[in-house]
Amino acid sequence: MSELMEMLIRRGFLWQSFEIYGGMAGFIDYGPLGNGLRRRLENLWREFFVINERAVEIDTPTVNVEEVFIASGHAESFTDVAIECQKCGKVFRADHYIKEKLNIEADCTIEAVKEIIETYNLRCDCGGRFGEPFHFNLMFTTSIGPGKGKKGYLRPETAQGIFIAFKRLLDYFRGKLPFGVAQIGRAYRNEISPRQGVIRLREFNQAELEYFVNPKEKTHPQFERYANDVVKLVDKFDNEYKITLKEAVEKGIIAHELLAYFIGKTRRFLLKAGIRDDRLRFRQHKDDERAHYAVDCWDAEALTSYGWIEIVGIADRTDYDLRKHIEHSGEDLTVFVQFKEPIKVKKLKIVPDLKKLGPVYRKKAKAIAKALEELEVKDKNIEKVTVEVDGEKIEISSEFFNVEEVEEEIYGEKIIPHVIEPSFGLDRITYTILEHSFEKDTVDGEERKVLRLKRWIAPVQVAVLPLLSKNEFIKVSLELVDMLRNAGIYTEYDDSGSIGRRYRRFDEIGTPFCVTVDHQTLEDRTVTIRDRDTTKQVRVEIDRLVNVLKELLSSEKDITEFGEIFKA
């Protein structure tokens, strides 16, 4: 890991933020290569979860007003238990500190933490005693506007912006379920004591899809695409399975088809991004670790030098979020779902007696009658009801109406949609791709460090290298750079040092192909393409170069399909 991190910092993938001021845990900068890699990862994610779903992508503010998180439950529930040393003042996340010092998995409750501290006489590294454990809310607070302003929070997830905009989005989809809404952006969590480099950040990048469905139809028309994929599962009882998704649903290991569909799709996405299948599993949350909004959740976990780390969470949030925002905002966030065939139901209905209402309530009689007809009743023998007319509550006794049983045709019903949410930690996935791709081998008797990135993920796709630093070689090379860049291929140029050292430099940053301009290029307008992984080279005409590289970069084809092996 240390060797990889040294390379990532040295070559411009990432480094700690605020370096010249001593740095700050939980924040990183993406350098040119790291940013390029993450952007390509985002575009691959869009292919899977936006373009190939009935889904759209939106962008909402990273600052939200307090009411949003009171409704969502984050203001109350988005907390960790912290402990503070009474001697040095350091604050630690309790369960992490207990795990590190005692190798005990502690329940995240104040009572459990307090009992462990007392039982084991747990102390700070400085020898000081800990005070009473306390809840620490992980959201960053801010003030919106001048003066005291309005209290707000930096969002801890991108999801809430989608739920707030649900009515607009429902209109966009013409009121028809299911549909998905995606968002890629920054989220913020004021971690108590972030460690593990890029694994636990205070400011991080998420890609989330909120998939709204009828709660009675948690299926997906494209499930068969993934039904026979064999996936490694660990359920909440720590039972391990290597099983097809179809079997996992049939046996009740995965609650329903829609969760299984997104597990399958997530796995395919991660494999295409460069996560190794032998270091990937899906683990179900235990009952005491699920978020307050989830009824079930599966994490995609990758094995790294940090151990198994969560890189994706796939949660069934039910109707929790929309229901809470209905309660707190008073807005109607329901969806009318039409039945395939109308159904007949018997119900009790109030029938107003206008002959009696008129003389008593005069001008208000018609409005009262309408309000009475709209009331739902369950008892045929009710004595009185209360209606509201023009803001006035009026009590109406049973002498002014009758309750009759009627048969009505029902064409549909109002529901609160359920939400299935695949949530991707882009920073963790980016790091995992880098670690899973980092290897060392021997080429021409020398040790080589190489990033075997997937071709479509590599931040630098092609390097153009003149064999010699002579004008005639440089001129052709720069023409090729312009040609490739105009074709949309991210290309770099390098004429510094021996050709072997230049190959090694681009192998180290994961560039799939190097194009070399040599003596023969000047004679017949051909160049060599060198493959990073095999170090094989083939000779290709310059006129074919763009098409050949585009086909290679979008596939895993062997380079020898496009020309004969060139022996230098």
Whether residue 380 has pLDDT greater than 90: no
Encode pLDDT of 188-237 as tens digits.
Answer: 999 988 877 788 899 999 999 999 999 999 999 999 999 999 999 999 99
The model's confidence at residue 267, banded by pLDDT at 50, 70 and 90, is: very high
CATH 3.40.50.800 boundaries in the chain? 460-562
Phi-psi region of 307 (alpha: psi -120 to 50; beta: other; left: phi over 0): left
Joined together, the tokens standing for residue 543 give 């006129």
8-state DSSP, 558: -
User: Which residues is 310 bridged to in the sheet?
Assistant: 301
> What Rg value do the Cα atoms of the chain yield, rounded?
31
Among 183-187, 189-193, 363-367, the range with the most confident prediction by mean pLDDT is 183-187
CA 91, CA 95: separation in Å to the nearest integer? 12
Whether residue 493 has pLDDT greater than 90: yes
Higher pLDDT, 374 or 517: 517
The model's confidence at residue 305, banded by pLDDT at 50, 70 and 90, is: very high
Joined together, the tokens standing for residue 238 give 């720590």
Average pLDDT (451-463) is: 97
Whether residue 53 has pLDDT greater than 80: yes
Encode pLDDT of 2-12 as tens digits.
Answer: 899 999 999 99
Whether residue 291 has pLDDT greater than 90: no
The model's confidence at residue 367, banded by pLDDT at 50, 70 and 90, is: very high
Task: List phi, psi (to 5°) of 113.
Answer: -65, -45
Fold of 79-137: Herpes Virus-1 (3.30.40)
CA 566, CA 273: separation in Å to the nearest integer? 30
Average pLDDT (373-381) is: 87
Average pLDDT (85-95) is: 92
CA 319, CA 456: separation in Å to the nearest integer? 37
Whether residue 474 has pLDDT greater than 90: yes
Whether residue 381 has pLDDT greater than 90: no
Give me the pLDDT at residue 77, please: 84
Average pLDDT (516-529) is: 96
Average pLDDT (333-351) is: 90
Range scoring the smallest mean pLDDT among 84-98, 200-214, 237-251: 84-98
CATH 3.30.930.10 boundaries in the chain? 2-67+139-321+420-425
Higher pLDDT, 96 or 1: 96
CA 342, CA 164: separation in Å to the nearest integer? 32
According to CATH, what is the number of the domain 2-67+139-321+420-425? Answer: 3.30.930.10
Q: How far from 200 is each of 124, 187, 192, 388, CA to CA, in Å?
A: 22, 12, 10, 54
Place of tokens 């040790």: 447
Residues 6+ apart with CB under 8 A from 274: 433, 436, 437, 453, 454, 457
pTM score, whole prediction: 0.88
Q: Which CATH architecture has domain 460-562?
A: 3-Layer(aba) Sandwich (3.40)
The model's confidence at residue 287, banded by pLDDT at 50, 70 and 90, is: confident
Q: What is the mean pLDDT of the chain?
A: 94
Give me the pLDDT at residue 193, please: 83
The model's confidence at residue 568, banded by pLDDT at 50, 70 and 90, is: low
pLDDT cut 90: percent of the chain above it: 82
CB burial class (10 A; 0-12, 13-18, 19+) of residue 68? buried
How many C-alpha atoms does 566 have within 13 Å on its Cβ side?
A: 22
